A and B are shown apart, each in its own frame.
Chain A
Amino acid sequence: MTSILLNALQYLGYILIFPGFLFCFVCGMLLCGIDRKLVARMQKRVGPPILQPFYDFFKLCGKETIIPDAASRTTFLAAPLVGLAALVVIQLFVPIHGFSAFYGMADVIVILYLLLIPALASILGAAASGSPYAGIGLSREMVTIISCELPLVLILLAIAKTVGNALGTGLCFSLSAIADYQLVHGSLITKARMIPAAIAMLLVIPGETGNHPFDAAEAETEICEGMLAEYSGGPLAVFKLSHAVKMLTLTSLFVALFLGGVGTGITAVDGVVVFILCVIVTAVSISFVHAVTARLKIEQIFKYYWTVVSGLALVSLVLAWYGL
C-alpha cells in the first residue's frame, strides 16, 4: 500500500517538478532569456536581462484578461492551458541521457503527433477569438506545420533506420532504444550519414517554435501578432510560457536524438548537462538564425522546408537506407 502511494507520489513528482512543470517553466524561460540575450549580443546590443521572460510572464499574469464579444469564451480560455499541458507531457517522454520519467510509453512517431497538439490548441484558440488577424495567423501557422512535417518525418525515419540497423531489428521507433543505442555507439551526430539530418533538424526547430525567420504566423508588424491578436493577460502569459517550453522540448529532443551519450548516472548532473547542450543547440539553431535573417514570407517558408531542408533530411535517409 505504502509502496503504491510512494510510486504515485514519485510519478506526481515527475509530472510536477522534474522533468515536468517546474523544470519546464524554469529551464524554458531561462532558455528563452538566453536566446534573447544572445540575439542582442550578436546585434551589438546590451539586450534584456536573462530573467526577462520571467518578468514578462509575471507582468502578464497581473494584467486584465479581456474576452472580446466575438470570441467563443470556453475555447478561447481553455486552448492555452491544453497546449501547455500537452507540451509538458511531451517533455516527460523525452529521455535525458538515459533517464526517462515514463519509460517506453511513446515513440518518435507519437512524439511527432503529440507536437501537433500544442500547435492545434493555439490554432483553435486563435480561431475562437474571432479576429481576422488571428484567421490569417492560424492559416500561416498551419502552413508552417505542414512545412516542418515533411523534413521531420524524413529525419525520424532516417534515425529509425540507422538505429534499427545497428540493433538488428531493421527499424526502431523507440526513444529509449535510440538513447540506449547512443550509449553504446556514441552520439548519432558523430555518424557521417546523420549529419545532414542533424542540420535539417536544427533548421526545423525555429520553424516548429515559430521563431525568426519562420515566424510569419506571429508577425507582429504586419498582422498584429497574428494568432495572439486578441489574447491578453493570463492566457497570453500561458502562450508565452508554452513558446518557451516548446523551445526547450524541441532542443532537448534534438539532444536526445543526436547528442545522446553516456550520462554520469546522476540525474541532477545529467539534467544540467542536457540543459547546457540545449542552450548550445538554441544558440546555433534559434539565436544565430534569428540574428542574421529577416522574416520570410509564408510561401517561401513552405518552399524552403520542402526543398532545402527536406533535401538534407532525404540525403540522410537514403544513406541510412543503403547503410552507407
Chain B
Amino acid sequence: MSMLNYHHFPIYSIMVLFFGAFLIAAIGGRDIAKNRKTTGVRAFIPLLATAASLAFLIALIKPVMLGGEVIAYWMGSRGISNGYAIGIALEVDALSLFFALLIATALFVSAVYSIKYMEHDDNIGQYYILYCMLGGGVLGLVLSGDIFNMFIMVEILTFAAVALTAFRTKVYGALEAAFKYLVVGCMGSTLILTGVIMLYAQYHTLNLAQLAALIPGTMNNATKLAFALLYIGFSTKAFIVPFHPLAADAHGAAPASISVLISGVLTKSGIYGIIRLTYFLFQTMELGAMQFMLVFVGSVSMFVCVTMALAQHDFKRLLAFHSISQIGYVLAAVGLSTALGISAGLYHAMNHTLFKGLLFLAAGAVLHETGTTDLGKLGGLSKKMPHTTVLFLIGAFSISGVPPFNGFASKWMIYQATYQKAVETGNIGFLLVTIIALITSVLTLASFVKVSQSVFFGQLPAEYENVKEVPFGMRLAMGILAVLCVITGLVPQLVTRYLTEPAARAVFRVGDYISSMGFASQTPAPAVSFAQVGVWEPISWLLILCIALLAVTIVAVAGKYDRVSVRSSETVDTKYQLFYGGEDNFHSQVGGGDLFWGFKHNWRHYFSFMHDLHSGIVNDYALWAVVALALSIVFVMIVL
C-alpha cells in the first residue's frame, strides 16, 4: 500500500500529535516566557500537528462517511491468528470518524487560541507537550479497535488533562481541582482496566470487533460485572452525574484553551466509550431497562447541572455545569436507541463541541483582559470588547437553542426523538424527558442572560476602564467556531445527511463493524428511519427575518429613528446620565447572583439541598463514585 493510501490516515492523525509532543520536548527543556524565539516555534508545532491531524481525518470523510466503509487497520504485521486477534488494530467506522472530527476541530481551534492566550505563561514547552499528548490520547481512544488500547489512551489523556488542569498552579484552587480530578479519574481508569481484564479472562481477546462478535448471547455474571465497571469508568470520563462537580472544579481552574478540550473533547470520549460499550460490545440497547438507564442518567444530568449552573457566580464554573447539562442531552438522546435519537444526540454532541468551545474561549478572553471571571466583579465589557461580545452572544444563543443557531437544530431533533419514542412505546416516561429537555433549554437561556448581563452588558466598573479587545489570534479562533455554529444551525439537513446520519447508521451496523475485521457476525443490520415529524426551515426563516428586519430598519431610518441624541461634549451632562430616581450616578450593577430571585426563591429548598450535596470534599466525590458503581452493578445484574 502506498503511504498516501487513506487506510493509513487514522494512524497518521494520531501519530502526528504524539510526534509533535516529542518534537517540542526535543527542542528544549524549561524556559521562561521571555524567550520569544523558542516559544514561537513551540506554539507553531502543535498548530501544525493539529491541522495535519484534522486534514487527515477530513480526507477520510469521503470513504467512511459517504462510502460507508469501515477501515480496519492492523498495526505491524500481526493480525488474526487461530481465530483470535493478537495484533493491535485501529478500526474506523463512521461513528469513530465523527467523534474524531469533532475532537480534531476542537484541538485545532484551541491551538490557534493558545498562541496568544498562553504567551505570558511560563513553561510553555510543557504545556504544548501535554496538549499534544492529550490530543493524541483522545484521537487514539476513538479510533482504536482494541479495548486495551482504549484503556491506554484513557490513561494518557487523563494524566495529560490532570496536569493541564493544574497548569496554572498559582490560580486559586488549581491544585485542588487537579487532585480531585486525579482521584476520581484514576478510579475511573482503574474500573476500565478491571473491566478489560474481566473481559479478556472470559473471551481471550481484546479486539473490539471480536468481543462484539462473541459477547452477545454468552453473557454471564462476570461479563455483566465487566459491563458495569466499564460503564462507570467511561461515565467518569464524560463527567455525567454524579461526577459533574469534578468538571466544574477542573474547568474553573484550567486555562480556557484546556477547558475547551475538557468539555469538547474529554466528555466526548466518555460518550463515545459508552456508545461503543452499549451498542457494539454488549449490544444491550434493545433492552428497555438499558434505555431507561441512559435516558434517566442523561435527564438527571441535564436538569441537575443546569440548575447548578444557575446558582454559579463564576463564568467558567457556570460554563462547566452547562457542559455536563448538554452532555446530558446527548446521553438521553443516544439512549433512546432510535435512529433519530442517535442522530440527534450526535448532532448535539457536535454542536456542544462548537458552542461550548466558543463560550470557553470567550470566558478566556475576558480572563485574559480583566484577570477575573467572577460574575460579581465584571460588567459592561461590550463597550470595550465588542467583537468578543458578539462572538459570545452567538455561542450563548447557540447553547440556549435560539433559532436559527445550531443548538436549536439539534435540541429540536432531540425533542422530536424523545416524544416520538414516547408515542411509539406508549411510555409516559419519555414524554417527561421531552418536558425536562424543554425546561432545561429555557433555564440555559436564563443563565446565559445572566452572564451577558453581568459580564458584557450593564455598567463598566472603573477598574476595567482601560480594558482592550483581545488580540486577533484569539478572535480568529472564536470566529472559526462562531461561523461553524451558524452554518451547522442553518443547514441541519446537510449536517444530518453527511455527518450524523452515517454515524447513527454505523451504530446499527454492528455486523459491518465485526465483519470488516474479519470475524463472523451474527447480527443483521436493521432498517433504520430518520423520519421527523416536525418542520423547520432555518434558511427560509432567516430570509424572511432579514426582509422583515430590512423593512423595519428602512421605516425606522426614514422616520428619523436614527437621529438620536448622545452626549457631544466631554463634560458630564445630567441628561445622559442613567435615571437613578433623580440621584447622581454611581456604579450600580445588578450582580449575577441577584438575578432570577423569583425563580430561586421558589426552589430554595432544592438549591440548599444541592448546595449541601456539592460539598467540594474529594472524599465525598469518591464516595459518590462508589455508590454509583454499586448501583449500576446491582442494576446491570438485575436487568441484563
Contact = CB atoms under 8 A, between A and B. Distances in A.
A35 interface: no
Nearest to A301: B598
Contacts of A128: 382, 457
B535 A174 contact: yes
Contacts of B590: 132, 135-136, 139
Given A20-B548, A160-B419, A66 B598 contact: no
Contacts, number: 241
Interface stretch (B286-294, B355-363, B368-376, B442-450): B442-450
Contacts of A302: 598-599, 602
B380 interface: yes
A264 B402 CA distance: 36
A229 interface: yes
B459 A15 contact: no
A291 interface: no
B565 A67 contact: yes
A170 interface: yes
Given A92-B544, A105-B537, A306 B419 contact: no
Contact of A161 (B423, B588, B594, B597): B423
A246 to B, nearest CB: 15
A142 B403 contact: no
B560 interface: yes
A201 B548 CA distance: 28
Contact of A67 (B458, B564, B585): B564
A67 B576 contact: yes
A142 B578 CA distance: 22
A67 B459 CA distance: 14
B354 to A, nearest CB: 19
Given A116-B402, A298-B597, A127 B458 contact: yes
B445 A116 contact: yes
Contacts of B576: 66-69
B458 A106 contact: no
Given A15-B548, A81-B553, A105-B535, A65 B567 contact: no
A275 interface: no
B536 A72 contact: no
Interface stretch (B92-100, B202-210, B238-246, B430-438): B430-438
A112 B536 CA distance: 12
B502 to A, nearest CB: 26
Interface in A141-190: 142-143, 145-146, 149-150, 153-154, 157, 160-161, 164, 169-174
B556 A142 contact: no
B609 interface: no
A121 to B, nearest CB: 10
B535 A107 contact: yes
B435 A154 contact: yes
B566 interface: yes
Interface stretch (A192-200, A230-238, A250-258): A230-238
Contacts of A73: 566
Contacts of A131: 578-579
A309 interface: no
Interface residues of B, number: 79
A148 to B, nearest CB: 9
Contacts of B383: 72
A234 B431 contact: no
Interface string B567-595: 10000000111111100010011100011
Interface string B238-264: 000000000000000000000000000
A298 B435 contact: no
Contacts of B472: none
B559 to A, nearest CB: 6
A299 B598 contact: yes
Interface in A240-266: none
B458 A174 contact: no
Given A124-B452, A127-B457, A133 B534 contact: no
B52 to A, nearest CB: 40
A299 B604 CA distance: 11
Most chain-B Cβ atoms within 10 A of its Cβ — which of A77, A127, A303?
A: A127
A297 interface: yes
B528 interface: no
Nearest to A149: B442
Nearest to A83: B552
A127 B452 contact: yes
A67 B561 CA distance: 12
A66 B419 contact: no
A135 B402 contact: no
B419 to A, nearest CB: 6
A66 B435 CA distance: 43
Contacts of B386: 74
A300 to B, nearest CB: 8
A133 B443 contact: no
A172 B445 CA distance: 26
Given A139-B596, A142-B446, A157 B431 contact: yes
B402 to A, nearest CB: 6
Nearest to A74: B386
Contacts of A238: 552, 556, 561
B13 interface: no
B412 A109 contact: yes
Contact of A106 (B380, B453, B537, B551): B537
A303 B602 CA distance: 7
A168 B438 CA distance: 25
B610 interface: no
Nearest to B536: A110
Contact of A64 (B415, B416, B565): B565
Given A73-B566, A142-B446, A143-B597, 16 more contacts: A15-B551, A61-B559, A66-B575, A68-B576, A69-B578, A89-B541, A89-B545, A109-B415, A110-B534, A116-B442, A123-B449, A128-B457, A130-B578, A135-B589, A140-B598, A143-B446
Give the 5 A-B residue pairs with the shortest CB-CB distance, closest first: A135-B590, A298-B598, A127-B457, A234-B561, A170-B423
Interface of A: 12, 15-16, 20-21, 61, 64-70, 72-75, 77, 81-82, 84-86, 88-89, 92, 102, 104-107, 109-110, 112-114, 116-117, 120, 123-124, 127-133, 135-136, 138-140, 142-143, 145-146, 149-150, 153-154, 157, 160-161, 164, 169-174, 216, 224, 229-230, 233-235, 238, 297-299, 301-303, 306, 317, 321
